[in-house]
Every structure is written in C-alpha cells, then in structure tokens.
Amino acid sequence: MFSYLRKRFTSHLRERSRRRARLVSKDGRCNIEFGNVEQSRFVFLIDIWTTILDLRWRYKMTIFISAFLGSWFLFGLLWYVVAYIHKDLPEFNPSINHTPCVENINGLTSAFLFSLETQVTIGYGFRCVTEQCATAIFLLIFQSILGVIINSFMCGAILAKISRSKNRAKTITFSKNAVISKRGGKLCLLIRVANLRKSLLIGSHIYGKLLKTTITPEGETIILDQVNIEFVVDAGNENLFFISPLTIYHIIDKNSPFFHMAAETLLQQDFELVVFLDGTVEATSATCQVRTSYIPEEVLWGYRFAPIVSKTKEGKYRVDFQNFSKTVAVETPHCAFCLYNEKEAKAKEKKGYDNPGFVLSEVNETSDTKM
C-alpha cells in the first residue's frame, strides 16, 4: 500500500513538473499579469463604470454597502450639525414656542435615522423638515438627489453584472481534447463545440490563434507570437446554425503551422492553440465571446470524435453528451507531409511517363527455310 501511494505521488509530481504554462485556461480565463505600469491608477477611476463591472462580487457588494452606509452616516452628521447650530437638541432646553429645523431629532442616533429615511424615502412621518431653516431644506434636496444617483448607479451596476454576456459563455463548451485525423481525404485538426442552451447565438464566428515562441531572421525572440488558424465547418465558419454540437476542423495543408509536425514529435512542440467563438446572444442582443486553449498534451493524433447525435423512433433528434469528448482511434498518417507524398505517388501511378533513356533496337530475323 505504501509503495503504491509513493508511486502515485511520484507520478503526480512528474506530471506536475511536465505541465506547461498556458496563457488561456480551459474555461477562458487569461493567465497574465502587468508589472511596472507607469500610468497612474487614476485612469481606472475615470472609467469607473467598467472598473465596477470588472470587480468581483465580494468587492462590488463591499462598495455597494459602504456607499449606502457612508452616505447615511455622513448626512446624519450634517443633520446633527444643523440641529446643533439651530439649538434644537434637548441639551439646549428649547422653549415651548421653539420651532426646530427638523422635528424629533434628539441626538446623533435620531439624526442618522432621519438621514436613512430621507435617502431611501421611507417616510415614517415621525421626523420631518420644517420651513424654519433654509439650510435644512437645501440639505434635504441635496441628499435626495445624491441618493437617487447612488441608487441608480449601484442598481444599474448589479443588473449589468448579472446580465453580462460573460455568463452566457459558460453554457458554451468545448471538447476536452483536440484530435488529428483524416476528414474528406485531408488531414485535419478537429475540435467539438456545443451550445448547452436551446437559444441560439446569432452570427457566430469561430477562429483560432496559435501561440508559440519564434525567432526572427534578425535574431529577435518573440515569446507570444500569434499565427492565425482558420477553422471551418461544412457550411463555413460564419453564421453557424448552432442548435446542436458542431465539429470544427482546421485543414493541415502546406500553409498550416501543423504541416511540419508529426505524431512522434507533437509532444515535443511548444505551442498553445487558443480557439475563439464570437456571437450575439439571442435574448439580449449582447455580443459574447467564448474561448479555450489546447496544449500539445491535449492534441490526440490518430483519433476522431465518437458520434453524438442520433434520431429516435419518435422522429426527435437526441444529443448524448456522454460521448461529447469521447474519442475513437482511427488509421491516420503519422504526418501531413507523408499524406501529401502518398497522394502525389498515387496520382503519378495513373499517368504514363516516357523514359528518355529507352532505345528501341530492331532485330533482323533470317529465315533458314529453303524452298
């Protein structure tokens, strides 16, 4: 038992050390950080709306609660100052004929409660502003306007956060692995993508970027060099009818960066394939982008995806997501160059070629028959 656990632990450490760093995680998050940014953080406050939307929920709710409590307490202090200056508080022993600026403010606690009632328009009717003080009337108007602004901004930010198309992207899923096999007589890299909702993504467009480290002829090393990867389905790569899972594929031809890779050397490559799906959410008309990535260990050479769509006896189409990422081994050339040479050889077999070195020599036959 101990030897088994030790073996598992050793294999786990070996696998972890072999794991490659990736720019985009499987769920689409970007693994990048910015350092030594000279620009002031004040620029993030200028675009406060985007900054609030990008915050996590715990920070957003902290700002939400702090904004309300802070404004209530601040205006509570101002109401207390107004009552203190006008000598409305009980410690000043006001006369019976004294008309306070705000009825029934007896201290800081009651001033805070009046501030809360004013800003959220509760209106219990126990505390109210009189026409005695112009300062109190101005403060009432100012707090009411500021309260509406705070309510509108915070409620709008929470509503926008909930309805962001980023959440719609979570119902779009890609296959765990990419596969390389023959499709239509060509060597292709295939990926499966599915829409988990019955509502469509309008105007969907899918494409890819291959990230790798390259060295230019001038000797410059580019860490995240991007190469365009064209993905297509049988009907094209734009305006996809995304009602059922689709298998998108990239043709590995002479212009493909995968052309010089082989089954034996694939795991030795250093690249990351990032796949993007852009579309418009049917319900909200908001644009949505879904992305994922594949590293060499997640690209299976010589496999294809198992069938996933079937038709029932009742005439309905059924999608079995149990086979969504399931792969089946198939006979596949171990490199695209081999497939290309094989096709050329077969094409030459069907043609006739003249041999310039061939010389036809005539043989004179003598007849020994005597008449």
E strands, 39-102, where?
A: none
Query: pLDDT of 168-198, one tens digit each?
Result: 778 888 999 999 998 888 899 999 998 888 7
pTM (global) more than 0.75: no
Whether residue 281 is predicted with pLDDT greater than 90 in this model: the reply is no
Query: pLDDT of 257-270, one tens digit each?
Result: 888 888 888 888 88
Asked whether residue 220 falls in the same domain as residue 294, the answer is yes
Residues 33-46, mean pLDDT to the nearest whole number: 71
Please tell me the distance from the alpha carbon of residue 256 to that of residue 229, in angstroms, as a whole number: 8
Q: Among the listed ranges 101-105, 200-204, 228-232, 328-332, which one has the minimum average pLDDT value?
A: 200-204
Check residue 18 and give its pLDDT.
46
Residues 59-80, mean pLDDT to the nearest whole number: 93
Asked whether residue 269 falls in the same domain as residue 316, the answer is yes
Q: Which of 163, 179, 206 is the last residue of a domain?
A: 163
Average pLDDT, the chain: 82
The larger pLDDT score, comparing residue 48 to residue 370, is at: 48
Q: Give the 3-state secondary structure of residue 71.
A: helix
Q: Among the listed ranges 33-47, 203-217, 350-364, which one has the minimum average pLDDT value?
A: 350-364
Query: pLDDT of 282-319, one tens digit each?
Result: 777 788 888 999 999 999 999 999 988 888 888 888 88
**How many domains does the chain divide into?**
2
Asked whether residue 292 falls in the same domain as residue 175, the answer is yes
Asked whether residue 152 falls in the same domain as residue 205, the answer is no
| Residue 201: CB atoms within 10 Å | 24
Asked whether residue 125 falls in the same domain as residue 245, the answer is no
Task: Name the residue range of residue 265's domain.
Answer: 168-347
Q: Following DSSP, what letter does each residue of 220-280 receive, concatenated?
A: -EEEEEEEEE--BBTTBSBS--TTS-EEEEEE--TTSTTTT-BTTTGGG--EEEEEEEEEE
Check residue 238 and give its pLDDT.
62
Q: Is residue 305 part of a domain?
A: yes
Whether residue 358 is predicted with pLDDT greater than 60 in this model: the reply is no
Asked whether residue 149 falls in the same domain as residue 175, the answer is no
